[in-house]
A and B are shown apart, each in its own frame.
Chain A
């Protein structure tokens, strides 16, 4: 059984470029979450998506960051005009349930994309 797949594992961008991070959830999971881990810091929630809908984006920076989870294909976290402070590990997680069962459902994480900004 394939787990949560993230690609690329490592991504290098120059300041001002765009970064696109992809996440394929576990089979059968329709709920996706993105987290960011800055160097020497803890994991911080960014955004929660269900197919074609953003459920909670309370952790997303207001500018340059966007996320989508289309009906077909992986979830994408997009960072426009990257800056050095965007260097971090970005983790995606997925789960089965929605609101009625979320607290009793684990989230399954990928191994992350490590973004480096030159």
Chain B
């Protein structure tokens, strides 16, 4: 499976934008880029995913580099509730025998200051 690399931690102030980077230099043409987050004492929560084009939803935006070797999750106005561990995960749409599982790395711990 192609690997992702994220910074261990990032900090932000409340109501400021946050850009969470993810490097995936060995990404294949069939990999979707997914983002999940895990708030303290909760299960992971789906945030957004994309393939080639930038994506927006009510939670966040996903900016994908033209060569797809990196992507950035953008929280437009951070709130205290956004403090969580953010995971960038690749999912190969061709599957193989392990098509169902999500492979979580260490993620980025986001701290939001009031």
Contacts and interface: CB of A to CB of B under 8 A. Distances in A.
Q: How big is chain B's contact interface, by range?
A: 20 to 34
A56 B101 contact: yes
Contacts of A56: 97-101
Interface residues of A, number: 26
Determine the main DSSP class of B at the interface with A. Answer: loop
Contact of A91 (B44, B92, B97): B44
Nearest to A101: B93
B67 to A, nearest CB: 20
Nearest to A114: B41
Interface string B91-114: 111010111111111110000000
Interface of A: 4, 31, 33, 35, 42-45, 48, 55-56, 58-59, 91, 93, 99, 102-104, 106-112
